[in-house]
Amino acid sequence: MEAPRTIYTVKGKNTPMLWEFRYDLEGYLTDFKILEGRLNERQIKWLFTPIRFPYREASIRSWKAIKNFEMTIGRPELTFGVFWNTYNYKVKKVVAQRAWERLSQSDKMNAIAGIKKYDGFLQRKVSQAKANPATYLNQRYWEDSYGSI
């Protein structure tokens, strides 16, 4: 099950390097890949310094100001298929898809991001059944405050 992620591709202007950083919807790094080139000693020291390594999405945004990089930002995929697979309770698909199509892009992102909190709540409240996906969407479960329950 692949959750939606924002992908940052960083290309060196003066060196043959291409890096990819993937972040979940909460802004945490989920994956780092070297797509082209190899890290030299200087790059290793620069990149893996604790204050510089972009384990949070907010950190990598500041890299836009670095002259030696070209950065491309890919938007997270907010399709019904991504929601359906992330929610992982496959009932009443047609009804859920209709509810999904009525949501704004912002609501779609929040709905997917809220699944993790909702699932955590359900683990604490084992006697409560998971809502079907259409109910989750129509009743905007992602807006509930599960930390206080």
Question: What is residue 61's predicted lDDT score, i.e. its pLDDT?
Answer: 85
CB-neighbour burial class of residue 96 (10 A; exposed 0-12, middle 13-18, buried 19+): buried
Most distant pair of Cα atoms in the chain: their distance? 58
Question: What is residue 3's predicted lDDT score, i.e. its pLDDT?
Answer: 63
Question: What is residue 96's predicted lDDT score, i.e. its pLDDT?
Answer: 96
Question: What is residue 14's predicted lDDT score, i.e. its pLDDT?
Answer: 79
What is the reported pTM?
A: 0.62
Question: What is residue 1's predicted lDDT score, i.e. its pLDDT?
Answer: 47
Given a contact cutoff of 8 angstroms between Cβ atoms, the answer to whether 118 and 111 are in contact is no
Question: What is residue 72's predicted lDDT score, i.e. its pLDDT?
Answer: 82
Whole-number Å distance between alpha carbons of 28 and 30: 6
With CA atoms as reference, report the closest residue to 5 among 33, 30, 39.
30
Please say whether the dihedral angle defined by the alpha carbons of residues 43, 44, 47 and 52, taken in this order, is positive or negative: negative
Whole-number Å distance between alpha carbons of 6 and 77: 8
Tokens for 27, please give them.
């802004």
pLDDT in tens for each of the 149 residues of the chain?
Answer: 456 678 888 888 777 788 889 998 888 999 998 888 888 898 899 889 888 899 999 899 888 888 888 888 887 778 899 899 999 999 999 999 999 999 987 788 789 888 988 998 999 888 889 999 999 999 999 998 877 66
Question: What is residue 2's predicted lDDT score, i.e. its pLDDT?
Answer: 57
Question: What is residue 149's predicted lDDT score, i.e. its pLDDT?
Answer: 60
DSSP state, residue 141: G
Contacts with 75 (C-beta within 8 Å, 6 or more apart), sequence order? 6
